[in-house]
């Protein structure tokens, strides 16, 4: 006589359902969200390709595209995305250049006074000192803005080329924003005008080189710039 198993019958394997909302990543989203994500990714990809193309055209030799659409390329690239190759030049930059600024402030009582000089470059240096991942703005906004201004102005501080006014406007807005930072001047009054100067010091050569250079600071002083009303009221903070 055979003995029948008295154990409970085996449970059937759970079925795996494949439908909308299953999976991982974008596939886990519902159809409308997947469509939205795809549109966003496509927009990011297109913008990235356009940006890389614009930067390439700004660096490439003159060609048919830049001759016809050069203004569009410049408006896209300058001044924030301009490329600088001084690090790789035959004679790399061997100077420390600090950008400093002061302001004329109209107090709440109606008086007018001139502040001392603020070393904006030193403030940027302090902000990135010890920072393992400093922002691009902290490292390059002020420095590249000053390079842009110097490249578009002669030694008499007059425009050289068509972008001189843009350079002045850009640097002025950076300076006003930095002076209002912390709201110290904002509590005292309203900035009426600003003046910018650079302090250039040659990097001291190593002792073994035998090279003799002056390490005395050299200043370049610009004229006072009037601050428009919307900026003076803190519109660029």
In a structure prediction context, what are the per-residue pLDDT tens digits for the chain, which is 237 residues long? Answer: 444 444 445 545 544 444 444 556 677 778 888 888 889 999 999 999 999 988 888 877 778 888 888 888 888 888 777 776 655 555 566 789 999 999 999 988 889 999 999 999 999 888 888 888 888 777 889 999 999 999 999 988 888 878 899 999 999 999 999 998 866 677 778 999 999 999 999 988 877 777 788 889 999 999 999 999 888 765 555
Say how many C-beta atoms besides its own lie within 10 A of residue 173's C-beta: 16
Give, for 101, the enclosing helix (H) or strand (E). Answer: strand 95-107
* DSSP-H helix ranges across the chain: 31-59, 64-77, 120-128, 136, 142-151, 164-180, 184-188, 229-232
Half-sphere CA count of 131, side-chain side, radius 13 A: 12
In this predicted structure, what is the pLDDT of residue 146?
94
Q: Helices 120-128 and 142-151, interaxial angle, to 10°?
A: 140
CA distances from 138 to 120, 130, 160, 206 (A): 11, 13, 28, 29
Q: CA 110, 112, 116: angle at the middle one, nearest 5? A: 145
């Amino acid at each position: 006589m055979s003995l029948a198993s008295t154990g409970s019958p085996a449970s059937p394997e759970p079925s795996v359902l494949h439908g909308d909302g299953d999976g991982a990543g974008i596939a886990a989203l519902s159809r409308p969200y997947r469509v939205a994500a795809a549109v966003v990714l496509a927009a990011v990809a297109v913008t990235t390709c356009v940006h890389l193309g614009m930067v390439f055209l700004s660096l490439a030799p003159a060609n048919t595209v830049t001759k016809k659409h050069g203004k569009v390329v410049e408006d896209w690239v300058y001044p924030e995305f301009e490329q600088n190759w001084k690090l790789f030049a035959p004679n790399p930059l061997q100077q420390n250049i600090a950008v400093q600024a002061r302001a004329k402030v109209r107090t709440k009582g109606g008086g007018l006074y001139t502040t001392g000089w603020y070393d904006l470059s030193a403030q940027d240096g302090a902000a990135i000192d010890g920072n393992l991942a400093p922002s691009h703005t902290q490292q390059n906004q002020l420095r590249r803005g000053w390079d842009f201004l110097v490249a578009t102005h002669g030694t008499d501080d007059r425009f050289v080329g068509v972008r001189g006014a843009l350079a002045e406007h850009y640097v002025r807005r950076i300076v006003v924003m930095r002076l209002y930072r912390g709201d110290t001047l904002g509590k005292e009054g309203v900035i009426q005008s600003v003046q910018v100067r650079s302090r250039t010091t040659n990097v001291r050569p190593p002792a073994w080189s035998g090279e003799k250079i002056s390490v005395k600071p050299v200043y370049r002083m610009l004229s006072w710039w009037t601050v428009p009303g919307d900026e003076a009221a803190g519109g660029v903070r």
